[in-house]
A and B are shown apart, each in its own frame.
Chain A
Amino acid sequence: MDERVAAAWQQLPLYLGEHVALSAAAMGLGLTLSLLFAIAAVRNRYVRWPVLTLASLIQTIPGLALLALFYPLLLALSALSEQWFGRSFSALGFLPSLLALTLYSMLPVIRNGVTGILTLDPAIAEAARGVGMTDWQRLLRVELPLAAPMLMAGVRTAAVWVIGAATLSTPVGQTSLGNYIFAGLQVQNWVSVLFGCVAAAGLALIVDQLLALIESGVVRRRPVRISAGAFVLLAGIAVAAMPRSDADASYVVGAKSFTEQYILSALIAERIAAEGGEATRRTGLGSAIAFTALAAGEIDIYVDYSGTLWANVMRRKDIPPRAQLLAELRDWLVRERGVRLAGALGFENAYAFAMRRDRAAALGIASIDDLAARARSLTLGADFEFLARPEWPALRDAYGLVFAGRREFESTFMYDAVATGEVDVITAFSSDGRIAANDLVVLADPRGAFLPYDAIVLISADRVDDPLLRRAIEPLIDAIPVETMRQANYLVDGRGNPLPPVAAARWLSEHLAARIGP
């Protein structure tokens, strides 16, 4: 078996289990709420329009955005709860995923439920009243049983949607089959991406067929089918919901969703293990979510970049020299968020403009000043974050940059786009292995308009004085030169035979040990 497939199989019980548990919880909650809303909408026509419209509206919000929106909302609620009841809850992972998927599941059930009941022959409702049923008896004995086939069709649709959308819960820190997809996308492990897709589709198909069995039992009034389908479904959910051994590891290492982060989180986890600690990794976090999660104590440690926090968290627009920025950031983090900046790893992963070497030579571009003179006929490729950062307007104004066009990519595809000539310049990352892999040149920044981006280790307030963590991190501080990091990244991102991030972390660890000595 392919090594990558074997690795994927190994993860399957965890990812599938979490995926099933999450989907089942969302369906259970969604179904309950949907039924209540459907009943209210049937009984009261003034409720009907708002309920159906709201449900449709939620459906138009992209799943990823819905998940992302719940995170700050829950964080604010958690802070309020802390203030009022002295108790906070995790705004990351299960809860935002559950709520977003619950909302997502509601439209088909509400719509089919309402339609199912409202399209019943009015004579039946009249007869139900005529024989002396109360409103509830009419609903439970007549309307719901008669609308059940239509309702079940809605439940099937909802289940398939929820299982599909649950793959999107990975970036808010909930483990799911989406981990295969998000991690695979970042490290260009297409086997992993495909594995995740097939697993999610397979799960959706199986659940759909079981629900179809129940549906046919409802339509043809065969209780055996209903119980058989329900039994298999519930058994599957029960197995998925069983507690797993690794659920309560002591240290949680976070990682954003790109190769370097996967490698560094694996490296930190390995260091913690070497010091006798237990660590789990929460990978694929959104860039902004990672810091918020650390500040909230939901992850204990992760690597971020000084310029990112400077601009996005401190909301500073000025660009001080590297050392000064680092010092100010360190003070601010402790003072404002109680987060400890344990130290810099020794390399920068800064934004930088990069071009294909042959193209830059042909156009005579070596610095951003040269680029500015030619930019009107060139297309810029950026990642999703760059153009929204405050430094982009600063950079643009400093050099008077005007591009012919701009396109935004997921970072993996951004490198492909410049390599194939679809865009001319990209906002590359200076420690990225793909710069060498694609034979790109980084343009000089003579006016110092790009922020410095030192890789720094951040530790949450709860773990500030944790001696094990301190011992684990110490050998990494100022120990990784940019060439080494680029090499490690290249092991994963490079052409040929890429390694999984964990293997690259092992290489990095051995490399560092050899250099520093035992």
Chain B
Amino acid sequence: MSASPPASNRQRIIELKGVSRAYGAIRVVHNLNLVVDAGEFVAIVGESGSGKTTTLKTINRLLEPDSGEVLIDGVPTHAHPAHLLRRRIGYVFQRIGLFPHLSVAENIGITPKLLGWSSAHIAARVAELLELVNLPQGFAGRRPAELSGGQRQRVGVARALAARPWIMLMDEPFGALDAVTRDALGAEYRRLHERMHLTTLMVTHDVLEAVLLADRVVVMRSGSIVADGAPSELMNDHPEEAVRALMDMPRRQALRVAALLEEATRG
């Protein structure tokens, strides 16, 4: 049974309609349809080359689809200039891309600045965000080069949230971090997602991360969606061979951990 409310009550935030995209002769995304509702945390998983990142980038128009269209709140994304669209959507990616010549505060405040917020307003928002992503206020004046990998991605998340978007697009956001930091940041972000009523679409190749964080997991293969459902549905002997293969690893790991735990309590 799905955890989501009935279809009639849902508000469609992101909608991809028949989106296709090719690079030269190589079809990367093929006639893809996807709906993400308000407040959902959706993870897209799949092997490298399955088209998940391309799909994500068509939403904030970092890539334009060859055919099909993307709607945000029911409005086609090409109705407005791409840069205005992007200022309303948070974007976090694996390589982070902090601006090395700007301070942490300037990095976080960049989108508000582009939107013309007052400097006092921006400063207040930066302080708020540093607290939200668990960074000391003293970091505001530092340069990205002075931060650790985990701290940098905290700044990356803060920068994406700065202009109060209600949609977050995340492309392997924690992929480059060590396991402990990745787990901590993932859990923290999940809390932010709840608290700020965000709609999050996250691409990851880490199935375990997907099933632990997301409400709904979309599995892609060769440019198409092969499965779409709550983690519990996908874990349970899915008819699709590719999905079973994908879920096998976390399953085995979970069973092994469960067995170990049982042993420990008995012992």
Q: A130-B60, A131-B110 are in contact. Are A142 and B99 (CB under 8 A)?
A: yes
Q: A126 to B100, Cβ gap below 8 A? A: no
CB-contacts of A120-163 with B (<8 A): 121, 123-134, 137, 142, 145-146
The 8 closest A-B pairs by CB, nearest first: A127-B97, A132-B87, A123-B95, A130-B91, A123-B97, A132-B86, A131-B111, A132-B83
Q: Which residue of A lies closest to B82 (CB)?
A: A129
B174 within 8 A of A: no
Expressed in whole angstroms, the Cα–Cα distance for A121 and B144 within the complex equals 14
Number of A-B contacts (CB under 8 A): 61
| Contact A134 B95, beta carbon cutoff 8 Å | no
Within 8 A of A (CB), among B118-150: none
- Assess the A145–B114 pair: CB atoms within 8 A: no
Contact indicator B62/A129 (Cβ below 8 Å):
yes
- Interface residues of A, Cβ cutoff 8 Å to B: 121, 123-134, 137, 142, 145-146, 221
- Name B97's contact: one of A121, A132, A145, A221 (CB within 8 Å): A121
Is B258 close to A, CB under 8 A?
no
Whether B99 lies near A123 (C-beta < 8 A) is no
**Inter-chain contacts of B93 with A (CB < 8 A):** 123, 126-127, 130
Q: B114 to A132, Cβ gap below 8 A? A: yes
Task: Compute how far the CA of A274 lies from the CA of B98 in the bound complex, rounded to whole angstroms.
Answer: 74
The answer to whether A130 touches B62, judged by C-beta atoms less than 8 angstroms apart, is yes
Taking a contact as CB atoms under 8 Å apart, the answer to whether B62 and A133 are in contact is: no
New A-B contacts (17) at CB < 8 Å, excluding given A125-B97, A132-B88, A221-B101 = A121-B95, A126-B93, A126-B97, A127-B93, A127-B96, A127-B98, A127-B99, A129-B86, A130-B93, A131-B87, A131-B91, A131-B110, A131-B159, A132-B83, A132-B84, A145-B101, A146-B100
A94 to B132, CA, bound (A): 63
Q: Which of B95, B96, B114 contacts A133 (CB 8 A)?
A: B114
Q: Tell me if B114 and A130 are in contact (CB < 8 A).
A: no
| A130–B99 alpha-carbon span in the complex (Å) | 12
Whole-angstrom distance between the Cβ of B60 and the nearest chain A Cβ: 7
Indicate which residue in B87, B95, B101, B110 contacts A146 across the interface (CB closer than 8 Å).
Answer: B101
CB nearest neighbor in A for B169: A130
Residues of B within 8 A of A137 (CB): 83, 114
Contacts of A130 in B (CB 8 A): 60, 62, 86, 91, 93, 97
Docked complex Cα distance between A126 and B160 (Å)? 13
Shortest Cβ gap from B70 to chain A (Å): 16
For A145, list chain B residues within 8 Å (CB).
Answer: 101
Which residue of B60, B81, B83, B86 has the most chain A CB atoms within 10 A of its CB atom?
B83
Q: Please indicate the chain A residues that have their CB under 8 angstroms from the CB of B97 in the complex.
A: 121, 123-128, 130
Closest CB of chain A to B225's CB: distance in Å? Answer: 24
CA distance A125 to B95 in the complex (A): 11
* A45 smallest CB distance to B (angstroms): 16
User: Considering residues A125, A129, A137, which has the most beta carbons from chain B within 10 angstroms of its beta carbon?
Assistant: A129
Which applies to chain A's interface (DSSP): helix, strand, loop or mixed?
Answer: helix
Binary CB contact string for chain B from 47 to 87 against chain A (1 if under 8 A, 0 otherwise): 00000000000001010000000000000000001011111
User: What residues of chain B lie closer than 8 Å to A129, measured between beta carbons?
Assistant: 62, 83, 86
> Could you tell me the distance in whole angstroms from the C-beta of A474 to the nearest C-beta in chain B?
72
Q: Which of B81, B84, B86, B95 lies in contact with A131, CB distance below 8 A?
A: B86
Q: Which residues of B contact A124 (CB under 8 A)?
A: 97, 99-100
Q: Bound complex: CA of A29 vs CA of B98, how far in Å?
A: 34
Q: How far is the CA of A425 from the CA of B101 in the complex (A)?
A: 68
Question: Which residue on A lies nearest to B97, using beta carbons?
Answer: A127
Q: What CA separation (Å) do A241 and B89 show in the bound complex?
A: 53
Q: Chain B's nearest CB lies how many Å from the CB of A225? A: 16
Residue numbers in A under 8 Å from B114 (CB-CB): 131-133, 137
Chain B's nearest CB lies how many Å from the CB of A43?
A: 16
Instruction: Report chain A residues within 8 Å CB of B91.
Output: 127, 130-131
Question: Shortest Cβ distance from A425 into chain B, in angstroms?
Answer: 67
Write the nearest CB–CB distance from A251 to chain B, whole angstroms: 57
B184 to chain A, nearest CB (A): 23
For B98, list chain A residues within 8 Å (CB): 127
Residues from chain B with Cβ under 8 Å of A133 in the complex: 83, 110, 114
How far is the CB of B37 from the nearest CB of chain A, in Å? 23
Complex contacts, A146 vs chain B, CB 8 Å: 99-101
Question: Chain B CB within 10 Å — which of A124, A126, A127 has the most?
Answer: A127
Q: Which residue of A lies closest to B88 (CB)?
A: A132
Minimum CB–CB distance from A459 to chain B (whole Å) comes to 63
Q: Which residues of B contact A132 (CB under 8 A)?
A: 83-88, 111, 114-115
- List 16 A-B residue pairs with CB atoms under 8 Å apart, sorted by A's residue number: A121-B97, A123-B93, A123-B96, A124-B99, A126-B93, A126-B95, A127-B91, A127-B99, A129-B83, A130-B86, A131-B91, A132-B111, A134-B83, A145-B101, A146-B100, A221-B101
Can you list, as one digit per residue, whether each of B253-267 has a CB less than 8 Å from chain A (1) or not (0)?
000000000000000
Interface of chain B residues 7 through 25 with chain A (CB within 8 A): none
Asked if B62 and A126 make an inter-chain contact with CB atoms under 8 angstroms apart, the answer reads: yes
Contact status B95-A128, CB under 8 Å: no
Chain A residues with CB below 8 A from B83, complex form? 129, 132-134, 137
Q: How far is the CA of A127 from the CA of B111 in the complex (A)?
A: 11
Bound form: Cα–Cα A134–B111 in Å: 12
Chain B positions within 8 Å of A126 at CB level: 62, 93, 95, 97
Residue with the greatest number of chain B CB neighbours at <10 A, chosen from A121, A132, A142, A146: A132
A377 to chain B, nearest CB (A): 70
Contacts of A128 in B (CB 8 A): 97, 99
Complex contacts, A123 vs chain B, CB 8 Å: 93, 95-97
Q: How far is the CA of A417 from the CA of B162 in the complex (A)?
A: 78
Q: Which residue of B lies closest to A148 (CB)?
A: B101
Closest CB in chain B relative to A279 CB, distance in Å: 57
Cβ-closest chain B residue relative to A221? B101
Q: Which residues of A contact B81 (CB under 8 A)?
A: 134
**Bound-complex Cα distance A121 to B159 (A):** 18
Assembled-state Cα–Cα distance A146/B99 (Å): 9
Minimum distance in angstroms from A389 CB to a CB of chain B: 61
CA distance A114 to B258 in the complex (A): 57
Q: How far is the CA of A134 from the CA of B86 in the complex (A)?
A: 10
- Give the CA-CA distance A130 to B171 in the complex, in Å: 12
Distance in angstroms between the alpha carbons of A128 and B101 in the assembled complex = 13
Chain A contacts for B84, CB-based, 8 A:
132
CA distance A145 to B86 in the complex (A): 23
B window 94-112: CB within 8 A of A: 95-101, 110-111
**Distance in Å from the Cβ of B200 to the closest Cβ of chain A?**
15
How far apart sit A142 and B101, CA to CA, in the bound complex (Å)? 8
Hey, which chain B residues are within 8 Å of A142, CB to CB? 99, 101
Q: Which residues of A contact B111 (CB under 8 A)?
A: 131-132
Say how far B45's CB is from chain A's closest CB, in angstroms. 22
CA distance A128 to B99 in the complex (A): 8
A60 CA / B86 CA spacing, docked (Å): 46
